[in-house]
């Protein structure tokens, strides 16, 4: 079976980290992009919406931090999955983030085996949710068309 690449958006204020991470994701066969702030992340989601499967989101960023960005993503793009990136001292925030609906978190420097597993898990959760929505929609539609007759 042909494996469909995961559309990943990497958000981190450290440019080297984004570069290294997107390169690694490309090597893994995924379709990554990178940006350096929460604002840029939201802008891409506005443009592409649910075409982005998973956002890998740094917690500590200047300006709009990861948790604030996560809140916006959950509110405006609830189908998109988020994996948080935590550094020193932000594990508490990772727990907060997961309570807000993040799929999981990764410690920096990231372990790529763990990354691959969590990414696959996040993709699976999004696909299942999309599937449930589609089924619910088709049930509603058949009910509505039933009312017309
Ligand atoms: Mg940072």
CA of 73 to the centre of ligand 1 (A): 18
CA of 55 to the centre of ligand 1 (A): 15
Domains of the chain, first to last: 7-147 (3.40.50.2300)
CA of 149 to the centre of ligand 1 (A): 58
Note the pTM of the prediction, 2 decimals.
Answer: 0.91
Residues with CB under 5 A from ligand 1 (ion): 13, 58, 60-61
CA of 59 to the centre of ligand 1 (A): 6
Own/partner contacts of 38-44, CB < 8 Å, gap of 24 or more, are 38/11, 38/63, 38/64, 38/65, 38/66, 38/68, 38/69, 38/72, 39/63, 39/64, 40/11, 41/9, 41/11, 41/69, 41/73, 42/69, 42/72, 42/73, 42/76, 44/9
20-78 per-position pLDDT tens digit: 999 999 999 999 999 999 999 999 999 988 799 999 999 999 999 999 999 999 999 99
């Amino acid at each position: 079976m042909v494996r469909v690449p995961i559309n990943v958006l990497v958000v981190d204020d450290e440019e080297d980290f984004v570069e290294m991470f997107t390169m690694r994701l490309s090597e893994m066969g995924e379709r990554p992009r990178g940006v350096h702030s929460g604002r840029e992340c939201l802008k891409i989601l506005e443009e592409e919406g649910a075409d982005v499967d998973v956002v890998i989101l740094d917690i500590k960023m200047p300006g709009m931090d990861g948790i604030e960005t996560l809140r916006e993503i959950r509110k405006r793009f609830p189908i998109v999955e988020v994996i948080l990136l935590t550094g020193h001292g932000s594990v508490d925030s990772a727990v907060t983030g997961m309570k807000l609906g993040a799929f999981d978190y990764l410690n920096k420097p990231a372990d790529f085996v763990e990354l691959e597993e969590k990414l696959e898990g996040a993709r699976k959760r999004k696909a299942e949710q999309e599937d449930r929505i589609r089924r619910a929609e088709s049930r509603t539609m058949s009910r509505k068309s039933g009312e017309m007759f």
